[in-house]
Amino acid sequence: SYVLTQPPSVSVAPGKTARITCGGNNIGSKSVHWYQQKPGQAPVLVIYYDSDRPSGIPERFSGSNSGNTATLTISRVEAGDEADYYCQVWDSSSDHPGVVFGGGTKLTVL
Amino acid sequence: EVQLVESGGGLVQPGGSLRLSCAASGFTFSSYAMHWVRQAPGKGLEYVSAISSNGGSTYYANSVKGRFTISRDNSKNTLYLQMGSLRAEDMAVYYCAREVYGGNDGAFDIWGQGTMVTVSS
């Protein structure tokens, strides 16, 4: 089955840029979606189709996807951005295709 | 307001059954594929099951195949997950989610608040 690999944690100072990676075999050929989840809350879609932002998501959130790595970039990080972030793809290549989530990355704002 | 509200979670013994519901409002429920995603305590998101907009097509993760059944009643704007032969590893918060943008690579743009399923004797 298809595997998405995320770093367990990323730390960044307020006002700086955070980059959260999502690795997968030829992930650049797939569409990647990103979710933010704060403690005790449901996930929220922050980036879809690699780099599009849903309405209401700040422009500080952006995404890219190429080769074997997709990246969620958060510019001018704020304390309120502290959360877990998950990447997600649809895997149609395995013998049991379906939705795959990365293991999640905890973003800490120092 | 577009929203999903899950219910039906609770404490169940190993080997037992439970039915979760997800009530949709604020959008045309019958136009969207729907999904269940779960999250064990302190763990990441795990995909569980999907159903097409008309209910004609379903999908299950290997971990629940043969034990869980997804269904929907478009006349009641409600999604269901019938869970059987429950195991300790099924203990999690269960979220329902709406798929948007479609085409078997869509994103989940609306999520419910989740309902907790505890499997314990």
Chain A residues whose beta carbon lies within 8 Å of the beta carbon of residue B44: 84, 86, 101-104
- Pick the residue from chain B with its C-alpha nearest to A43: B111
B109: confidence class by pLDDT, cuts 50, 70, 90: very high
Provide, rounded to the nearest whole percent, the portion of chain B with pLDDT above 90.
95
Cβ of B111 within 8 Å of Cβ of A42? The answer is: yes
Query: How crowded is residue A3: how many other Cβ atoms within 10 Å of its Cβ?
Result: 11
Section A4-27 average pLDDT: 97
- Three-state SS for B73? strand
Does the pLDDT value for residue A95 go beyond 70? no
Does the pLDDT value for residue A96 go beyond 80? no
Q: Is A92 on the interface with B (CB under 8 A)?
A: yes
Q: Could you give the CA distance from residue B49 to residue B37 in angstroms, rounded to a whole number?
A: 7
Chain A residues whose beta carbon lies within 8 Å of the beta carbon of residue B104: 90, 92
Q: Could you give the CA distance from residue A32 to residue A46 in angstroms, rounded to a whole number?
A: 11
- B64-89 pLDDT per residue, tens: 999 999 999 999 999 999 999 999 99
